[in-house]
Structure 1
Amino acid sequence: MRLNRHAGLLPCCVALQTWPLQALAQTQAWQHEWAQRPGSVLLSAALALVVVVMMVYGARQCVYSLNRVFGTHRYPYAGIDQAAWPMVTVFVAAHNEEKVIASNLNALLASDYPQERIKVVVVNDRSSDQTASIVDAFVQTWPGRIEAFHRAQGKAGKAAALKDAMAHAAGDIAVIFDADYTPGSALIRQLVAPFFDPEVGAVMGRVVPRNVGKNLLTRLLDMERSAGYQVDQQARMNLRAVPQYGGTVGGVRLSAVQAVGGWSDDVLAEDTDITFRLLIAGWKTVYNNAAACHEEVPEEWFVRLRQVHRWAKGHNQVLMRQAWALLRSPFVTSRERIDGWLLLHIFLMQPLLVLGWLLAITLYYLDAAEAVTLFIPAPVLMGYAVMGGFAAFLQMAYAVLVDGHRDRIRLLPIQLLNFLGTLPVISTALASCIHDRLTGQELVWHKTVRYQAQVAP
């Protein structure tokens, strides 16, 4: 009995005795490889670093997925239904939007927000189609409720147009929509409610595609949007991390925006830029998953890839500007600092994955298996395969289940092809961002194509 009682300690004792010998053998193996093939060792170390970073992001996505499905959903402003609603200015960003602008304005006119407390300003930025005449017809039909700001000059881009349009704001709260969005009647109240909290600087609602049934691409984008909002954004809200203001279907506190320097008109992702500048200054961004609004997603692959290029390039511009300030800010919690740092680098994952593939192929042809195993043990490779390779698709799978669209899970394997198609686009966006920063190249804004049939006012 005494022997059996201590039998379980024997493996531990043996392991403790042999550990120094194993460590010595590992060190000798590193020294041998370095002496024989230093290039392979350096490449293996670089590949190991890529694997570790990818595993960190994979773990992040797994945590968000599990929190969304099994965690407690946090939205402390849900009970605000009756209130002394503040004055709100709704800005509608429009550039060549003749196909969709009427639907947007009709939806805003149907809002249940108190009419005397809402002002709609259409920011018509140098449209060359019938957008101006359609907007003017609405202004004539609804005088006092809709105002047109026809912008004929100045910098191109949504951020520059909004910056100029702020002079037409009434009150301290601005709600912003792109022209292809159709807000529901209660959406303005849902987006304004969190601003009763004086710490809130921005609010974001959920984006839902309305042209899902058009083709395979729109179905894939519906899954992607659902993962991004239903899972990722909601989990960040639950965990008190960094929900992101998305530039449309959202609102900002104008005094907060002014306090951090106003809108930046020299960045493609003005929404990401204002999210982080508000965060660094101590303001909070709130996500409301119930505040859903329908958008028109791209129906053609070249339009989709150009949109992804713009997002990636703009996000990386913000990374280069705000990363150090985020680390230094005294107003950011440790959780926000970590999550914000990971969020800032999110569009570096695709180029990093490509780099990892190139390193692995190079090491394969160098016959450097021994050097690789010195830095990347088998358990690490298994963890990378689970968390680094498939975590993004786990978010999509959970989003489909949460939405109740279980049949769409069959599209999940095709998402891999969609992901592979964006790899070169996002990688070139990084190169373009670095080039522009070094050369001082002026931004070029590419508008997303619209498909909806024109609606009369």
Structure 2
Amino acid sequence: MNIFDFLLIYSLVIIWITIFLNVVLVIGGYIYYLKTLKIKMKSDLKEYPFVSIMVPAHNEGVVIEKTVKSLLELEYPEDKYEIIIINDNSSDNSSEILSEIQKKNPNRNLVVINTDNITGGKGKSNALNIGFGKSKGEFLVIYDADNTPEKTALIYLVQTILKDKKLGAVIGKFRCRNRKKNLLTKFINIETLTFQWMAQAGRWQLLNLCTIPGTNFVIRRSLIEEMGGWDSKAITEDTEISFRLYRMGYKIKFMPLAVTWEQEPQTLKVWFKQRGRWAKGNIYVVAKNLKYIFTKEGGVSRFDVFYYVLIYFFFLSAVIFSDMLFILGLAQAIQLDIAGYSIILWLMAYNVFCLSIFVAISTEKGELNFGNFLVVLIMYFTYCKLWGIVAALGFYNFVKDTIFKREVKWYKTERF
């Protein structure tokens, strides 16, 4: 055996560990999905706490009107929630659109905060802190500017968090609104169902552990006050605040009946920019929380620290080595003594990968169809390989930003 064989063994072991963990999460998620079929939520509450819905927005003129209208139509007493739009240093027509909506709804609790390049323009965390300073709610609910939550989403979130004082936050499910637009949005839709909400369900079922997404969640105001607000240096502020909640002794529960629909990137350029931001932000969170992986203070969130380290360091390196060895092998530039065994293991991994996705998408009506079957078959060779590039670029940009101490700014996801 030579060094290339050892690199191949390393790659296969890491890839299999990652696939195994994701399969376990999907199985747990499917069990939780079956449980949710039996959930019966009340249509009303005896007492409705006052809720502040905050929407950070930067140049969102294309989508903001539809978002605000959906929030105004939520099935929740009008006098028991306010909507705060943080129009953060926008240079488009967002301000005019929001002003017009306010005029048409003079009796609603609709607050618009317009910031400039001095007070705002420093990222989503900063915008949320600005909105938080103006909010009055006992509970805070966050939505991204491209979201259209279903009418029952808010009441499901609030009902769930009221049932247990140990719940610091409750997250809902988000679906891809433009999933049929092209092949990329079909990939994202399947990724969302499998690696995001199904994995969330699995982590809650097996570990009572969830990570806050950037949208469609409720959190206790008192906890944000205790934390001192959102970390303005965090690009993925949702992941970062999740770790802090668990260290404070609170849980984050997944309530899939609270659904929002969001727009996903429709071009590779926009997708690369968005996912590169996510990767860089998650690496920042890992670096910030790495010290807790071997301490009791980290609690159950140590699993997430381990998982992120596995994905962004070990799995990423394994994918790079695996692809490099494959290319060099095809070019006959290297000799691998265990190549035959590796092909068998790779085929097994591919089959397990596809099967776990089929199980995940079967939980959503209409998603397990022939078209998606074909999309899943090519996903491993296309979309997943693009993820490796994005993760590598995210790591590079994190290192560069750390060295040059760059200020966090808005990373705008283009809307369509």
Range into which the TM-score falls when normalised by the shorter chain:
0.7 to 0.9
Give 1:95's aligned residue: 58
Contact 1:159 1:270 in 2 (8 A): yes
Q: CA deviation at 1:385?
A: 4.9
Q: CA deviation at 1:424?
A: 1.6
What is the percent sequence identity of the aligned residues? 24
TM-score by length of 1: 0.80
How do 1:314-325 and structure 2 match up within 5 A? 314-325=281-292
Which of the numbers 280, 296, 301 marks the counterpart of 2:263?
296
State the distance in 1 between where 2:56 and 2:239 align: 17
Give 2:348's aligned residue: 386
Give 1:148's aligned residue: 112
Give 1:338's aligned residue: 303
SS at match of 2:297: coil
CA offsets per residue over residues 175-197 of structure 1, 9 Å max, x none? 01111111121111111122212
Amino acid in structure 2 at the alignment position of 1:159 = S
Contact 1:206 1:229 in 2 (8 A): no
CA separation of 1:81 and 1:326: change in aligned 2, threshold 3 A = farther
State the distance in 2 between where 1:136 and 1:250 align: 26
Q: CA deviation at 1:331?
A: 6.3
List alignment gaps of at least 5 residues for structure 2: none
Contact 1:64 1:231 in 2 (8 A): yes
Q: CA deviation at 1:383?
A: 5.0
- Deviating above 6 A after TM superposition, structure 1's stretches of 4 or more consecutive aligned residues are 360-364
Contact 2:280 2:398 in 1 (8 A): yes
Contact 1:207 1:229 in 2 (8 A): no
CA offsets per residue over residues 96-137 of structure 1, 9 Å max, x none? 111111111111111111111101000100111110111112
Contact 1:280 1:325 in 2 (8 A): no
Which of the numbers 386, 396, 409 marks the counterpart of 1:431?
396
State the distance in 2 between where 1:394 and 1:248 align: 29
How do 1:134-173 and structure 2 match up within 5 A? 134-143=97-106, 144-152=108-116, 153-154=118-119, 155-173=121-139
Amino acid in structure 2 at the alignment position of 1:412 = V
State the distance in 2 between where 1:74 and 1:323 align: 34
How do 1:8-407 and structure 2 match up within 5 A? 40-41=2-3, 44-69=5-30, 73=34, 79-83=41-45, 84-143=47-106, 144-152=108-116, 153-154=118-119, 155-196=121-162, 197-330=164-297, 332-333=299-300, 336-343=301-308, 345-348=310-313, 349-358=315-324, 365-367=333-335, 369=337, 378=341, 382-383=344-345, 385-387=347-349, 389=350, 391-404=352-365, 405-407=367-369
Number of matched residues?
403
State the distance in 1 between where 2:254 and 2:48 align: 19
List alignment gaps of at least 5 residues for structure 1: 1-32, 34-39, 452-457
Q: CA deviation at 1:418?
A: 1.8
CA offsets per residue over residues 216-250 of structure 1, 9 Å max, x none? 22222211111134421111121134211101111
Contact 1:272 1:315 in 2 (8 A): yes
Root-mean-square deviation (CA, aligned residues, Å) is 2.7
TM-score by length of 2: 0.88
Which of the numbers 359, 375, 381 marks the counterpart of 1:411?
375
Contact 2:49 2:80 in 1 (8 A): yes
Deviates more, 1:356-365 or 1:187-196: 356-365
